[in-house]
Structure 1
Amino acid sequence: MDWLGNHLWAAWMVLAVALGVAEMVSLDLILIMIAVGAVVGALAALASFPLILQVLLAAGSSAAMLALVRPNLVKKLHQGPDLVTGMNKLVGQQGVVTEELSTHHPGRVKLAGEIWSACPYDESLTIAPGATVEVFAIRGATAYVHPIGELMP
């Protein structure tokens, strides 16, 4: 028991490692925050602080990690880029009109190396062949496009 009193920092480090290993199983980011508190307790033990102060510092740092660090870390890990697949990845891309487009006469547009049927997004427009357009929406197999550089007719 005398050895443990002189090497209390080692007990804190064993606790920190055990919590770190247990975190690998749970993946909740809770045990690793408590493990950081155990490391703070080990540092306090190395500085020869009394046991009650070691426990208070470990508990305080664990609580701070859980309250301040974990929410931001969980939020960062759970967010990511939205995966856009299929037709929706064409929205916002540019293409070239190959056949004249009007509301009453759908034409064709070359988008991403493929020919699509297309209509003007603005029903009052007629878009001539060779014009560069941007895809605003895709409904069914029809791309709704608007000429680039022209916001209002």
Structure 2
Amino acid sequence: MVDRTPCASTTAFAQMAGLDSKTPHPTSIVVHRQSRVLEIEFDQGSAFRLPFELLRVYSPSAEVRGHGPGQEVLQIGKRGVDIVALEPVGNYAVQPRFSDGHATGLYSWDYLYWLGVNQETLWNDYLKRLEAAGASRE
């Protein structure tokens, strides 16, 4: 007999991937290349316009986030970054390919929703970290 009870790691992956039943799901995702904005609408009514630059500098990839706290890599010079492709990943995420070659981040529905809700705070934090590092968006 096979035990089909989800193990803790399976449950954690499902939550990390945005598969929680409470996670809003997108009803529309539109890439606006001219304005460099990803427009996303969710099934519970929320809608966000996420700048490509914000998506790029907050990529969920290990390349940007590191493999643990304190290993984050400040992304500089991303002001003009574009999304050149956006691929669906199952029923839980999208994977953008950016004009600077970055293509390893999987953006779950949960993560996209979190970015939308926290957009202003995240953006201000990014600008402060750039200033503290003496770095530029250019």
| Class of the TM-score when normalised by the shorter of the 2 chains | under 0.3
TM-score, normalised relative to structure 1: 0.22
TM-score, normalised relative to structure 2: 0.24
Higher relative contact order (CA 8 A, sep 6+): 2
